[in-house]
Amino acid sequence: MRNPHAGEPFVASDEDIETALLDVSIPTLMLCLVHLTGDPSILRGHLKPAGLFLNEVQGYMSEEDKAEIRQLALGIIAGYRDSGCLEPTPLAPEVIHEMMSWLVCEEVPTEYVAMLMEEMGLDGTDARRPPSTESAGVRSEFPVVVIGCGESGLLAGIRLKEAGIPFTILEKNDGVGGTWWENTYPGARVDVGNHFYCYSFEPSDAWTEYFAQQPELQAYFERVMDKHDVRPHVHFGHEVVSASWSDTEGRWLVVARDRNGINVEFSARAVITAVGQLNRPNIPEIPGHETFAGPSFHSAQWDHDVDLEGRRVAMIGAGASGFQIAPTIAPTVAHLSVFQRTAQWMFPNPNYHETVGPGVRWALRHLPFYGRWYRFLILWPGCDVGLHAARVDPAYPDQERAVSETNEVTRQIFTDWIMSQIGDDNDLAAKVIPDYPPTGKRTLQDNGSWLTALTRPNVELVRTGIDHIEPDAIVTTDGVRHEADVLVYATGFHANRVLWPIEITGRDGVVLSKMWGERPAALLGMTVPGFPNFFCMYGPGTNLAHGGSLIFHSECQMRYIGRCIAHLIEGGHESMEPTLSAYQDWHERSQAELKTLVWSQPSVKHSFFKNSHGEIHVLSPWRLVDYWSWTQEPDLNDFIVTTPTPGANR
Ligand code: NAP
């Protein structure tokens, strides 16, 4: 069978190829040429990228160099076509390592190579796919319930299906996608490049934008769900209200409320929670909020029946969601008042709203391994570099401004980006330049649309605090009334209330939310003592603020969970749960590590990363490569594994 990443054969004319090559990433194209010729020597000459920056995919190459490569490529690609687009011979591992380093203009450390090889799957295999070991009969005795059918729940379903394990997914919404189902607000789009923000084993050559909008993302998950035939396993419109472990039965009882408000019970040997961290809207109780006379709604519950055209809109909150909403609605509303408590740092990304040209889509579909190398090209700049930049240097003098010299350089780049857009408007500069170190909160992607919106005559950025809400206005603490017909809360989510409001009861009647309080924790973000056969995806300590993608993390987690379940099935075990000491050790180490990073800085006063004590429990402080390596296999020394007494019927 042809390697799925070797591209579909084609018969395009020379002219068509030439046109397509005008669009493509030239450094990525060079690596396709190595695959096509089997000869890496073209990388060793003068043609090479000059530098790397996230989402800059041309390596700062000169126009002359790019033209030279296109010319070279045309001949090689035409030759490949004329000889029938035969699958290229696999390259030696050391050549691939050389190609990695060449593409990103730095030596890719050896410790990363295995992870990257797996992520790219150049050999056409899916190394994270679980083996199906025991007989179907044995596996059928181990039903699993997955809670949630967003990107992680769908992934869990795909992997369980591949392993031949019976499973049911319970999803509160009426469709797949989680966040990408719920967030239909104007302008909703992903801010991790889509050619990386997709499952490693389900790349798409059809993205129409580099950072796709919500409908396209939701459609992607829909397509993947159907391709893997997961839909028959999903109960949509079923919101899980509780899950409780029975020691006598060695099973979980999961209760879900269906669309008619009727509770339905499911029995399982294991539960996987895949509910995300950002889906329970936070609507602050601002005095008078209930008196507002016009329509009001949260960004994640957008009311599309409300026509904003010609109306005065007040938007409270401007983090990641508000940042996308304001520029999208500003041209149609009569007036927009944006109430922003804390200014946001933003990362310059000129491609943020760019469409994927036909040449790039042709290359993704037809040029051997183009898509794989492109994935690597946008993955690498967000692979642990951000963690280094987030590290606090305690000796750095002005911690309110920057936490290290590297962080100061970042501050300069971000500030220059802002100032390049607003010229000498010092009043606006005072409002939009944050007063805390860069990357201290989630950094937003920006192509200039935010500041363009703010400088429109019908848009006002309000940085004064809100005092109260009246039927037709938001009143700020300076007594100014900001009149509004419609109120949008872009105020984020209850990110720190992990798994809330599901009531999860483990061994001895312990309720997880009570045990956690404001300090949720799980070994590797996945398992909790006293909660046997209970696995979290995107659990505590796994949100990423330093790069990577949550899909990458989910794939690591699901491999680990799959191995745990395989261990239970193969060993005929009843349950596994982490030891208290492994759990505590993990939590203490994670906390110690988090305290060394910019997100914990006291100068970051408001951040959904922090709980009410100013502590962080939702983020991962770890390098992707470490998390990847720690989640290869469960270390059984970290677990208490029980086996049923002979004759027990499970
Ligand atoms: P968010 O980033 O937490 O922003 C919430 C906004 O509401 C902030 O401006 C916050 O101010 C403000 N706010 C909250 N409570 C307030 C109060 N009591 N009074 C005044 N202002 C208040 O929430 P979000 O924009 O929904 O984004 C949440 C997360 O979702 C993001 O960080 C990201 O992980 C994800 N997301 C991703 C994308 C994407 O991929 N493009 C898009 C949207 C969301 P403070 O800053 O002062 O707290």
pLDDT tens string 11-67: 999 999 999 999 999 999 999 999 999 999 999 999 999 999 888 999 999 999 999
Distance 502 CA to ligand 1 centre (A): 23
Q: Which residues pair with 273 in a beta bridge?
A: 147, 536
341-381 pLDDT tens trace: 999 999 999 999 999 999 999 999 999 999 999 999 999 99
Q: Is 328 exposed, middle or buried (0-12, 13-18, 19+ CB in 10 A)?
A: middle
Give the pLDDT confidence score for residue 313 in this predicted structure: 98
307: CB partners within 8 A, 6+ apart? none
Q: Report how far residue 377's alpha carbon sits from residue 33's, in angstroms, rounded to the nearest whole number.
A: 16
Q: Is 96 exposed, middle or buried (0-12, 13-18, 19+ CB in 10 A)?
A: buried
Residue 221: pLDDT band by 50, 70, 90 thresholds?
very high
Q: What is the secondary structure of 400-469 as a DSSP string? A: TT-SSHHHHHHHHHHHHHHHHHHTT-HHHHHHHS-SS-TTSSPPEEESSHHHHHHTSTTEEEE-SPEEEE
Q: Apex CA 490: angle with CA 174 and CA 209, to 5°?
A: 65
Q: SS3 helix, strand, coil % of the chain, rounded to 5?
A: 35, 15, 45
Residue 267: pLDDT band by 50, 70, 90 thresholds?
very high
For the cut 60, the answer to whether the pLDDT of residue 575 exceeds it is: yes
Q: What is the mean pLDDT of residues 176-186?
A: 98
99: CB partners within 8 A, 6+ apart? 31, 34, 40, 43, 91, 373
For atom 16 of ligand 1, the residue with the nearest CA is: 491
Q: Residue 344 has what DSSP assignment?
A: -
Of the candidate ranges 133-147, 282-296, 562-576, the one whose mean pLDDT is the lowest: 133-147
Quickly tell me which residue has 């073209």 as its tokens: 42
The verdict on the CB of residue 318 being under 6 Å from ligand 1 is yes
**Residue of 338, 342, 436, 608 with the most ligand 1 atoms within 8 Å of its CB, for mutation:** 608
Q: Which residues pair with 298 in a beta bridge?
A: 489
Residue 134: pLDDT band by 50, 70, 90 thresholds?
low
Give the pLDDT confidence score for residue 647 in this predicted structure: 65
The verdict on the CB of residue 320 being under 6 Å from ligand 1 is yes
Q: What is the mean pLDDT of residues 451-456?
A: 96
Helix (H) or strand (E) holding 474: strand 473-476
> Which of ligand 1's atoms lies nearest the C-alpha of 342?
47
Q: What is the mean pLDDT of residues 85-103?
A: 98
Q: Report how far residue 80's alpha carbon sits from residue 87's, in angstroms, rounded to the nearest whole number.
A: 9
Q: In 10 A of CB 644, how many CB atoms?
A: 13
**Residue of 347, 431, 491 with the most ligand 1 atoms within 8 Å of its CB, for mutation:** 491
Residue 509: pLDDT band by 50, 70, 90 thresholds?
very high
Instruction: Give the Å distances, CA to CA, from 33 to 14, 417, 606.
Output: 16, 36, 49
Q: In 10 A of CB 531, how many CB atoms?
A: 24
Which three-class secondary structure state does DSSP give residue 565? Answer: helix
Give the pLDDT confidence score for residue 131 in this predicted structure: 82
Q: Which two tokens stand for residue 444?
A: 């937003």
Instruction: Give the Å distances, CA to CA, from 615 to 146, 354, 627, 631.
Output: 29, 38, 21, 25
Give the pLDDT confidence score for residue 140 in this predicted structure: 86
Q: What is the mean pLDDT of residues 559-585?
A: 96
> Which of ligand 1's atoms lies nearest the C-alpha of 543?
34
Q: Report how far residue 621's alpha carbon sits from residue 543's, in angstroms, rounded to the nearest whole number.
A: 9
The verdict on the CB of residue 490 being under 6 Å from ligand 1 is yes
Q: What is the mean pLDDT of residues 537-558?
A: 97
Q: What is the mean pLDDT of residues 411-429?
A: 95
Task: For the chain, give the mean pLDDT.
Answer: 96
Give the pLDDT confidence score for residue 44 in this predicted structure: 97
Q: Is the pTM of this model over 0.95?
A: yes
Q: Apex CA 602: angle with CA 398 and CA 539, to 5°?
A: 130
The verdict on the CB of residue 533 being under 6 Å from ligand 1 is no
For residue 186, how far is the Cα from the chain centroid? 20
